[in-house]
Amino acid sequence: MKKLLNTALLLFAVLMTSCTAPNAWELVSKDSNVRFALENKQENGSTMLSYSVFYKDGVAMEKSLLGLVMDNCEYGKDAQFVSASAVKDISNAYQLKSGKKMNTTDECREQTFTFRTKENRQFNLIVRVYNDGVAFRYELPGEDGQMHTIQAEHTEFAVPVNGKAWIHPYDWNDRHKPSYEQYCRSEIDIRSECGHGRGWAFPMLFNTNGVWMMITEAHLDGSYPATHIDNAGTDKAYKIRFPEADEPIVPDAVEPVSELPWFTPWRAIIIGDDLNTIFQTQMISHLNPASVVNDESWIKAGRASWSWWSNGGTPRDYKAQLKYVDLSAEMGWEYMLIDAGWQNMGNGGTMEDVVKYAQQKGVGVWLWYHSGAGREKDSVSTHRLMSDPELRCAEMKRISEVGVKGIKVDFFDTDKQRIIQLYPALLKDAADNHLLVDLHGATLPRGFERTYPNMLTTEAIRGAETLGRQERCDQAAKHNATVPFTRNVVGSMDYTPVTFSDKVRQGIPAIRKTTMGHQLALAVVFESGFQCFADKAESYLSLPEQPKQFLKEVPAAWDESVLLAGYPADYAVVARRSGDVWYIGGISGKEEGREIEFTLPAGCEGKSFTMIIDGKDKDSFDYMPVENIIGTVKVKVLPNGGFAGMIR
């Protein structure tokens, strides 16, 4: 009898053990190199939800907390596991209208983990694992018709400290607005803090434990503010931070507010052996919903002329704007942009007259607008054309009927939720009226271009506009050699590049320190679906024949993009393909002459072409024949130099 009792007790113990909820899970990429490990284990008297990421045999992300606080209730701490869905293989091919690679495929594995809070409220963690990284977000299910508030997000990124980081500080200047125009802090210690106390901006680049890794955010649908990062996590781990309360444009609170069901933005971690994996990723686009535009035939990437940067003609001067229509026509560029002040155009004609003239030349016209952020109650209706839904739709309909092709919308000036809601509303209305969009003075790209392919570019960069000050010209080469590895990775970048002349500000010129070859190369190194070339007409029309022809032919959308060589803040060599033609651009961020070595893309072997290189000084070009390409190519550059070429 005793023996039977012991057997029964042992069987009961086994059954109880088998019924115990699991506390650890793994999701592995299709190529088995990336592994997302989720845990819900006891720690310091509480059950804590956390994750780690592994790449091949190494730790890419150490144990990092998960969770958030909604309506003052903890979602993550002391949560009980409910269920895990079956693993879903995703393979969705789709086409973009611009970017580093237009034909692409969202290829990953997805799994949803369901938990229950102490208050018996369910929530989900949705995880995707790609061959080049991982992404996750929270889902708060339900449908009660009530507004809910997230007071905090606990998400951490415990990046291993044995490496270096390249991160742009979150903007905090005398205007207190996040325009993502800070210089990158290069090769700083991982988990070091930002001096101004406002934290760091996405994207964040790391080289640690033998891997390259980027952390950023994807998919803003208006139900959440754009977020950034501070060091408030465990042992100074990076942690999600909401916008700053004193961002001045709108007085709104910084906490997200929404009805249920509610999905937070994706937290994306891109991982690879080399920088080319980071450079080529399209994960941010993949994490956004499919296009909502049924007919995309009217959406065309392109290049533009622009009079504002060079003071080559005020937007209020009709005849000056005709000169830039003529420039675009001469160069074969698709567009020209009329900046602020066009509503008061004079000297022989109006904006409508410019559009008519441009149509005859085969050139599309773009117009500048203020976003209206912070001006929603302004008594002057033209100040709120883009923020007032009725005024916006009427204005977009009007200019579309005139023949305008695109709008540059500027000065969003905050990452708070109410202004984030303006982006999809504006993009949808623009698409309904067949208008292309450049988001200027805007938040960092989070992948809008997949859902709204009429969005061709975003600023969110210290671009050529700032080169009216000498200290910024002095830093331009290093900055240019950094952003291909940081800002431009996550989306098209409206830098307004390729400026050969010196910008004059208040009568004083700021002297360009980069070479002519460096500037020419930016047409390839910097990716933008609306590539606005900023210099004055005379600068382009007076170029030698080969550089001029290069700018006539270089496109603004690509079938393939490859990083051939480079290192952040040091140098970058980029190859991009359009059809059967490869375009090469290389820039140096160093103030000394050097030789740059790289291997051209497969398929270029045996071909010959002429590389446009630095001449005897920064203000001249030279030319280097490259015959029967086999193996590596070596190019000598001047301080802050560069080169460019086409391979047919």
Same domain, 364 and 512: no
CA distances from 15 to 18, 19, 40, 474, 604 (A): 5, 6, 22, 71, 64
431 in the same domain as 366: yes
Domain harbouring 520, CATH code: 2.60.40.1180
CB 212 within 8 A of CB 166: no
Tokens of residue 164, six digits: 């270096």
Of the pLDDT bands very low, low, confident and very high (cuts 50, 70, 90), residue 14 is very low
Average pLDDT score over residue span 495-512 = 95
Please choose, from the candidates 418, 425, 427, 316, the residue with its C-alpha nearest in 3D space to the C-alpha of residue 376: 418
Q: Is residue 14 part of a domain?
A: no
Q: Which two tokens stand for residue 46?
A: 């509480």
| CB contact at 8 A, 458 and 436 | no
Both 116 and 137 in a single domain? yes
Backbone angles phi, psi at 340, to 5 degrees: -55, 140
* Overall average pLDDT of the 116-145 stretch: 97
Q: How far apart are CA 288 and CA 268, in angstroms?
A: 12
* pLDDT (0 to 100) of residue 19: 54
The answer on 372 and 274 residing in a single domain is: no
pLDDT higher than threshold 90 for residue 30: yes
pLDDT at 646: 98
Return all residues near 437 (Cβ < 8 A) that are at least 6 apart. 406, 407, 408, 409, 426, 427, 430, 452, 454, 455, 456
Same domain, 352 and 442: yes
Does residue 360 sit in the same domain as residue 240? no
Q: Give the contacts of 61 (CB within 8 A, at least 6 positions apart).
A: 51, 52, 53, 157, 158, 159, 160, 213, 269
Residue 120 lies inside a defined structural domain of this protein: yes
CA 626 vs CA 6, 490, 523: distances in Å: 84, 33, 21
Residue 305 has pLDDT above 80, yes or no: yes
* Residue 553 domain flag: no
Q: 4 falls in which pLDDT band (50, 70, 90)? A: very low
> Which is nearest to 452 in space by CA: 296, 273, 605, 580?
296
pTM: 0.95
Is residue 11, in this structure, part of any structural domain at all?
no
| Neighbouring residues of 295: CB distance < 8 A, sequence distance ≥ 6 | none
pLDDT tens for residues 326-372?
A: 999 999 999 999 999 999 999 999 999 999 999 999 999 999 999 99
pLDDT of 631 reads 85
Residues 128, 159: one domain? yes
**pLDDT number for residue 630:** 86
Q: Which of 230, 263, 286 finishes a domain?
A: 286
Asked if 476 and 437 sit in the same domain, the reply is no
Query: How many CB atoms within 10 Å of residue 235?
Result: 10
In percent, the amount of the chain with pLDDT more than 90 equals 90
CB 396 within 8 A of CB 435: yes
Q: How would residue 29 be classed by pLDDT, with cut points 50, 70 and 90?
A: very high
Taking residues 375-401, report their average pLDDT: 94
Residue 594, domain member (yes or no)? yes
Mean pLDDT of the chain: 95
pLDDT confidence of residue 9 = 40
Q: What is the CATH number of the domain that holds 309?
A: 3.20.20.70
Reported as a single tens digit per residue, the pLDDT across 240-250 is: 999 999 997 88
236 in the same domain as 97: yes
CB neighbour class for 461 (10 Å; exposed up to 12, middle 13-18, buried from 19):
buried
Name the pLDDT band for 176 (thresholds 50, 70, 90): confident
Residue 350 lies in a domain: yes
Task: Specify the pLDDT at position 304.
Answer: 98
Query: What pLDDT is stored for residue 17 in this prediction?
Result: 39
16 falls in which pLDDT band (50, 70, 90)? very low
Last residue of a domain, one of 286, 313, 337: 286
- Note whether residue 476 is domain-resident: yes
Q: Per-residue pLDDT tens for 547-600?
A: 999 999 999 999 999 999 999 999 999 999 999 999 999 999 999 999 999 999
Same domain, 429 and 479: no
Q: Which two tokens stand for residue 225?
A: 């503010």
Contact between residue 220 and residue 173 where contact means Cβ atoms under 8 Å apart:
no
Q: What is the mean pLDDT of residues 69-92?
A: 98
Tell me, what's the pLDDT at 18?
A: 43
Query: In the predicted model, is pLDDT for residue 174 greater than 80?
Result: no
Mean pLDDT of 268-272: 99
Do both 304 and 163 map to the same domain?
no
pLDDT digits (tens, 9 = 90+) for 477-486: 999 999 999 9
Residues 59 and 180 both lie in one domain: yes
Select from 286, 315, 343 the last residue of a domain: 286
**Domain containing 567: what range?**
472-492+506-527+558-648
Residue 551 forms part of a structural domain: no
Domain count, the chain: 3
CATH of the domain at 177: 2.70.98.10
